[in-house]
Amino acid sequence: MRTLREQLARRGGNPPSGLTRAPGHATRAPALDRLVAHPAGRLLADQFTKLLIMGAFTLGEAREVTAFFNLVRVHNAGAAFSMLADAGGWQRWLFTALGVGAAGFITWMLRAHAGERLFCSALSLILGGALGNVVDRLLYGYVVDFLDFHALGWHFPAFNLADSGITVGAGLLILDELLRVRRARA
C-alpha cells in the first residue's frame, strides 16, 4: 500500500503541508497528537483542582487569597451563571448530553482541521473544558466551581479551570476568525 506522499508524488503533486507518515501508522497530521493531549491535560488539571477544593473546603466556604480573589466551594447544578440551576434535575442530563455532543463535534473538527494551529488550540481548550464539566455532572450532578474574583463588593460568578478553558478557547476562536477574514481581504 502506497502512502499519500508516494501517491501524490507519482501523480506529480505535493502532499498537504504537515502530513507525514510515521513508521507503521497511517498518514496523519503530527499536530493531532498534541491536540488530543492538550484537552486531556486540561481535563486532568480541572479534575485534580476540584478534588483538592472538595477535600479542603466545605460547601459555601471561602478563603481570601488577595483583596480581589477568593477560593470558594460552590456547586452549580445549572449552566453558565447558574442558569437553570433550580430546574429540578433534568438539566443535569441536558447539559451532559450537550457537552458530549459538543465533544464529539469538536473532535471531528480537530481531525478535519488539524493543520490550523490557532483554530485547533481554541477547540482543544473548549474540548478539555467541556469534558471537565461533563465529568462533574456525571459524578456529582453539579459542577464544582472555586475561583471567585471580586471588586468593590461585586463578585463575578465563581468558575473553575474547565470554564476558563472554554472562555479562553472561545476568545481564540474569535481571534482566529478575525485573522482569517483579514487574510482573505489582503
Give me the residue label for grid cell 486540561.
42
* Long-range residue pairs from 12-17, CB within 8 A, at least 24 positions apart, any chain: 16/115, 17/115
Q: Which residues are catalytic?
A: 145, 163
pLDDT at 38: 79
The C-alpha cell at 134 is 461533563
pLDDT at 26: 46
Return the percentage of the chain with pLDDT > 90, whole number.
59
The answer to whether the CB of 127 falls within 8 A of the CB of 111 is no
Q: Strand runs (DSSP E) across 30-142, as ranges?
A: 62-66, 69-76
Reduced to 3 states (helix: H, G, I; strand: E, B; else coil), residue 76 is strand
Q: Give the pLDDT confidence of 54-112 residue by residue, as tens digits.
A: 999 999 999 999 999 999 999 987 666 565 556 666 767 787 888 899 999 999 999 99
Reduced to 3 states (helix: H, G, I; strand: E, B; else coil), residue 75 is strand
Domain spans in the chain, listed from the N-terminal domain onward:
30-185
* CA atoms within 13 A of residue 178's CA, in its CB half-sphere: 6
Residue 134 identity (one-letter amino acid): V
Banded pLDDT at 37 (limits 50, 70, 90): low
For residue 126, give the nearest of 38, 47, 30, 49 by alpha carbon. Answer: 38
pLDDT(161) > 50:
yes
pLDDT at 65: 97
Mean pLDDT value of segment 121-144: 93
pTM for the full predicted model: 0.75
For residues 46 and 28, what is the distance between their CA atoms, to the nearest angstrom? 29
pLDDT at 85: 55
pLDDT averaged over the chain? 82
pLDDT at 186: 81
Q: Is the dihedral of CA 105, 108, 112, 113 positive or negative?
A: positive
pLDDT at 94: 82
For residue 70, give the nearest of 78, 60, 80 by alpha carbon. Answer: 60
pLDDT(29) > 70:
no
96 class by beta-carbon count within 10 Å (0-12 exposed, 13-18 middle, 19+ buried) = middle
Banded pLDDT at 129 (limits 50, 70, 90): very high
pLDDT at 39: 84
Beta partners for residue 149, in sequence order: 69
